[in-house]
Structure 1
Amino acid sequence: MTENITQLLDDASARVDSALETFLQKDDIAVENLHDGLLYSLGLDQEDPAIRGKRIRPALCLVTCECLGGKGDAALPFAMAVELMHNFFLVHDDIQDGDPFRRGRPSAWKRYGIAHSINIGDFLFTKVFDAFLSGSESTPDLNLQFSLLKLLVETLEYTHIGQAQDMNALRRRDMTLDDYLEIVTNKTGYYLAAPMLGGAQIAGASQATLDALQQLGKFVGPVFQIVDDTIDLTHGKGRDTVGSDIREGKRSYLAVYAASKATPEEKEELYDILDLPREETSRAHIQRVAAIYEKYGAIDAGRAYCKQLMEQAHAVMADTPAPLRDTMMAIFDHMLERKN
């Protein structure tokens, strides 16, 4: 089943890449430090698929549509819009976090500088709506177009709210797990549900199915983020080293959980390290934080919580059409085990 799911997602991702390449070729001009920056951010400047990311969100859009009997090609414009939105977020997020690497090579801001990268991110943002509108002729239903546009706008709004909450959490020492869950639901949950909802709407899904997919996003979004938090500490995320979240001072699930269990002295030490400037955070600091996480079983606790969330995800999808339910849950069960 794992091989089948991997192949399904890879095939959908390849279709999105092909559509993006065709779509982006329509520009009549190519401005230095803009169009090349856009291609660089999307990983379309080279043939290596590793620098393009997983394309999981647009793949979910196509797969959802087809599982519900729709035509995947009809969902491609929305899928492209979702992927462009994702990379818009990443370009700006790397600037805000000071992350010098993305997908195994310099982040856009390290390659092009901060000023150009802000503009590249904004250009990606305009391309979100350009890609969406490219499907207007194949989607003549104005009500559907309006509903999809509203979905994009709401996703942007919630993700920006989550990002602001995430940045506001830096240097906080009173974070609870409920606070963490609210942040990641806003920052990740809505934006993981959006491609599934878009694909489902294009396929003509029932309101009950749409409601289930919305709830699914709220469960699997935090799962995706907690797994990401763990990967950062154990395998890295295509960045320069493991522990990038610690260097950023990020209030990850691991940090918040460990702080809730640690002694007052350990909690203070943990937050003192997290609050160091990035350039002053040494490998020894990262190892010390990792030791605190290990002492209190933070990684195991995160995995256990993810399993609880996945049980709830399975429950909300129980009454959806079998092809959708079985495929989506196989995908997200597979994602729970990912290492990168």
Structure 2
Amino acid sequence: MNGASISSLDPITSTEAIAHDFLGKGGKYTRPFVTLAVYDALTGAKGTEASGARHLASYSDAIFRAALSIETFHKASLVHDDIEDDDYFRYGDETLHRKFGVSTAINVGDYLIGLGYRLVSREAAVLGPEAVSDMLDCLAKSHLRLAEGQGAELFWRDARDKRLTPADALKIYALKTAPAFEAAMYLGARLAGGTEGLETFIRQFSRHLGIAFQILNDLKDWEGDDHNKLLAGGDVLKGRPTVLWALALTSLSESSQEELEQLVNDSALSLESRFQRVCQLYREAGVFEKARQLVDRYQQRAEEVADEVEPDELRRLMYYMVDTILEPPAESISEVIMPTLGIAISPTVDRVS
């Protein structure tokens, strides 16, 4: 879709074309990887052997489509988030609402949500109606929690009172980030035959992992991002609620708190000047060090949950998830997983007749 304009597309197929292009455009594909990895761990862990690629190729299309559904929900949330935050770039390209308009982007996000549910619901004959019902229920619950978390963020962003406690920030993170990890793990377990004895572990592990992951994202926000052309410190300058902001408010003097709140909306200062002063206040409050300590704390909690999990293959996978998701490897997971998922999004297969 590079260089394409809305006027150059076929109106009948444009929504599908834009959605499929965005679905394969970028990202690490961590979530479908998790689904497939959990499924593998609970069905013999042959995917990690020397012949793992051959074993992976033996999975049915229904397994891959269920895994891909997690990614479609994630990509839909990105489309809608970019609109709500009016972000300009995603995956090194213009965001969909900047390229095609807000109305079209909203519709593409909605299409991706529908596609996510359809990728699972269409496989009742292969996976069984009970398994499909359980997975759809999990996806719907995760979708609702994500929307609640995003709603909390938007209400806070648009409110006059910018006070935020670290506990409230972490509650938002638990709603916004943890459900995707929980759904990815649950689907993998359900595809393997059942989740009995695992649901509580999956829920607790995903919560701790999701919170740690989001705090790391907050810290990375202060490094900027050339690929997405993001300004360092963009979260605070756009008024998004973060645990860094909350930690600053609990540590700074009253006068410094007032200055911090005024800086966010001080249009008289350049973005660079505001960024430098906010960064200085954050350092004075020890915000970055405290945030890293929180990452360590939630990472430890995730590992403690994993310690109690059986079988051993799943436990080792959970340790691996902590290591890779919280300390991403140099090689993108997308290079491993996306070629395999290509079979799942044929336009003639996915369109509901």
Q: What range describes the TM-score normalised by the shorter chain of this pair? A: 0.7 to 0.9
Letter in 2 for 1:328: M
Asked whether 1:274 is paired with 2:264, we answer yes
The CA deviation string for residues 225-246 of structure 1, in whole angstroms up to 9 with x for no partner, is 1111111111437233222212
Give the unaligned 5+ runs of structure 1: 1-28, 45-50
Asked whether 1:144 is paired with 2:134, we answer no
Q: Which runs of 4+ in 1 moved over 6 A?
A: none
In the alignment, the residues of structure 2 paired with residue 151 and residue 179 of structure 1 have an alpha-carbon distance, to the nearest angstrom, of 25
The CA deviation string for residues 81-111 of structure 1, in whole angstroms up to 9 with x for no partner, is 1111111111011100111111222111111
The CA deviation string for residues 46-80 of structure 1, in whole angstroms up to 9 with x for no partner, is xxxxx410111111110011011178545322211
Residue 239 to residue 136, structure 1, CA distance change in 2 (3 Å): farther
Does structure 1 conserve the Cα–Cα contact (< 8 Å) formed by 2:73 and 2:112? yes
Asked whether 1:67 is paired with 2:48, we answer no
Give the unaligned 5+ runs of structure 2: 1-9, 45-55, 331-353
Residue 60 to residue 79, structure 1, CA distance change in 2 (3 Å): same
1:323 pairs with one of 313, 319, 322: 313
The CA deviation string for residues 252-305 of structure 1, in whole angstroms up to 9 with x for no partner, is 11111112111112111212223457x986121112111211222212211111
Asked whether 1:156 is paired with 2:143, we answer yes
1:190 pairs with one of 155, 160, 179: 179
In the alignment, the residues of structure 1 paired with residue 107 and residue 115 of structure 2 have an alpha-carbon distance, to the nearest angstrom, of 12
Which 10-residue stretch deviates more, 325-334 or 251-260?
A: 325-334
Larger Rg: 2
Pairwise CA distance, 1:319:
2.3
Identity %: 25
2:206 pairs with one of 207, 212, 217: 217
Does structure 2 conserve the Cα–Cα contact (< 8 Å) formed by 1:231 and 1:339? no
Give the number of aligned pairs.
303
User: Could you say which structure has the greater relative contact order, defined with CA pairs below 8 angstroms and 6 or more residues apart?
Assistant: 2
Aligned to 1:41: 22
Residue 131 to residue 30, structure 1, CA distance change in 2 (3 Å): farther
Residue 330 to residue 249, structure 1, CA distance change in 2 (3 Å): same
5 Å-filtered alignment, 1:1-340, equals 31=12, 33-42=14-23, 44=24, 51-69=25-43, 73=60, 74-140=62-128, 142-170=129-157, 171=159, 172-236=161-225, 238-275=228-265, 282-320=271-309, 321-338=311-328
Residue 324 to residue 30, structure 1, CA distance change in 2 (3 Å): farther
Letter in 2 for 1:65: Y
Pairwise CA distance, 1:113:
1.0
RMSD over aligned CA atoms reads 2.2
In the alignment, the residues of structure 2 paired with residue 254 and residue 274 of structure 1 have an alpha-carbon distance, to the nearest angstrom, of 14
Residue 263 to residue 81, structure 1, CA distance change in 2 (3 Å): same
TM-score norm. by structure 2 comes to 0.80
Aligned to 2:339: none
